[in-house]
Amino acid sequence: MEQINTRNNEVNFKQVLDGRYYDTSGAWLDMDDVTRNDLAIKFKEFLLSKCRKGSQPYNNIRNTTLLECENFGVYERLVYNFNTDSVHYVAGQDYPAEIAYLKKLVLKTA
């Protein structure tokens, strides 16, 4: 995957679903399909790491095409960083509950 020029070298899951991101100047740019698919795989791997292997949520997320999910504002908190090649979640107050909520949203709308 080629790095796209974004603020803070990060892109969130909502931007991937929208197919648009802010570049370093603050302008919206379209994301190419290859980059969107590669990033969707990174987000899927992160969500799978939060499930018990072999469980129903694990299997459902594994078999889901994330780019077909309905888009929610909370997805802005799920962030991929190009510098570290990793996904992280910016939690509010209750990380475990919020991760469970994210998984439910993905499963409900995919």
Inside any domain, residue 1? no
User: pLDDT digit string (tens) for 70-88?
Assistant: 899 999 999 999 999 999 9
Examine residue 30 and state whether it is found in any structural domain, yes or no. yes
pTM: 0.89
Q: Give per-residue pLDDT as tens, 11-21.
A: 999 999 999 99
Domain range enclosing 38: 7-109
88: nearest Cα among 9, 6, 1, 2: 9
Instruction: Give how many domains the chain has, as a whole number.
Output: 1
Looking at 23-98, which runs of residues are DSSP E strands? 28-30, 78-81, 86-89
The answer to whether the beta carbons of residues 47 and 87 sit under 8 Å apart is: no
Whether the per-residue pLDDT at 63 is higher than 70: the answer is yes
In a domain, 2, yes or no: no
> What mean pLDDT is predicted for residues 36-45?
96
Residue 57 lies in a domain: yes
Q: Specify if 43 maps to a domain.
A: yes
Residue 64 lies in a domain: yes
Of all residues in the chain, what percent carry a pLDDT higher than 70? 96
33 within a domain of the structure (yes/no): yes
